[in-house]
Amino acid sequence: MEFIEERGVNKHQKKVSLYRCKCGKEFEAVNTKVKSGHTTSCGCSRGEKHRDSGTRLYNIWTNIKARCTRKSHSQYVNYGGRGIGICNEWTKYSNFKLWSEANGYTSVLTIDRIDNSKGYSADNCRWTTHKIQNNNTRRNIIIEDTTLTLKCEELGLNSRLVQARIREQGMSFKEAITIPENFREYKIAYNDKLWNLKALCEELGLNYSTVHKRIKKYGWTLQKSLDCKACQWILDKDSK
């Protein structure tokens, strides 16, 4: 649908403009309804919209079109703004629906672009689980020819915590996975003895809350938090 010109206000004092529908017909529509996605045609596709309006699949389709084509959409900068579009065939909902039904769509799956640098089309999209889709994102970090998410899953680690340490603290992957998530499962080797964190802070004259926050919240290494290069985390197997 193409904007042509503004036409003032209607009898309800709503701003209206002249638009050209994809079928070629020119018509007037309320501007706010066009911006919200409520009005998408002159009415030529109204029957199609009426049948599936409000369904999950229809809402997915309207959201795809909006973020790829409408500059006022909150996610346009991440999609249409960087060249991610929707193929001509899928601008018609019935075509998108036919493809979805033929490619395994169910109410628990989400649409995923296989190549995140390309747009929405039959040859670049699939219906998949949230887990697979979240792993296939340009924000993911590659570790040893796999993604950080899958590597952490393989090692039994919290991927969100490890990713935050790498992105926000600038740690290497090796550094990020050496800081324990649960301090109670670990002891600290210092002066030929094993200490828990609180006891060692008392021994070194440090504030336990400050050290704990440095490690847990800010992702500092143990050595940096204690200012002690000789301190090392040791897994306390007896506590398991």
Residue pair 187/138 in contact by the 8 Å Cβ criterion: no
Spatial separation of the C-alpha atoms in residues 28 and 6, rounded to whole Å: 9
Q: Which residue has the higher pLDDT, 172 or 193?
A: 193
85-138 pLDDT per residue, tens: 999 999 998 899 999 999 999 888 888 888 878 999 999 998 887 555 555 555
With helix as H, strand as E and coil as C, how does 58-118 read? HHHHHHHHHHHHCCCCCCHHHCHHHCCCECHHHHCHHHHHHHHHHCCCCCCCEEEECCCCC
User: How buried is residue 57: exposed, middle or buried, by Cβ count under 10 Å (0-12/13-18/19+)?
Assistant: middle
| Residue 239 confidence (pLDDT) | 44
12: confidence class by pLDDT, cuts 50, 70, 90: confident
Of 21-30, 134-143, 206-215, minimum mean pLDDT range: 134-143
DSSP 185-237: GEEEEETTEEE-HHHHHHHHT--HHHHHHHHHTT---HHHHHT-TT-EEEE-G
The type of residue at 102 is A
The type of residue at 52 is D
In this structure, how many other beta carbons lie within 10 angstroms of the beta carbon of residue 187? Answer: 22
The type of residue at 95 is N
237 pLDDT higher than 60? no
125-176 pLDDT per residue, tens: 988 875 555 555 555 555 555 666 767 777 676 777 777 766 665 666 676 6
- 49 φψ region: left (φ > 0), alpha (ψ -120 to 50), beta (else): alpha
| Residue in 134, 67, 59 with CA at minimum distance from that of residue 96 | 59
Q: Which residue has the higher pLDDT, 128 or 234?
A: 128
The type of residue at 74 is S
Angle between the 159-169 and 148-155 helix axes, to the nearest 10 degrees?
130
Q: How far apart are the first and last CA of the chain?
A: 63
For residue 83, give both structure tokens.
């060249």
Q: Cα–Cα–Cα angle for 79, 82, 87, nearest 5°? A: 60
What's the predicted TM-score (pTM) here? Answer: 0.43
50: confidence class by pLDDT, cuts 50, 70, 90: very low
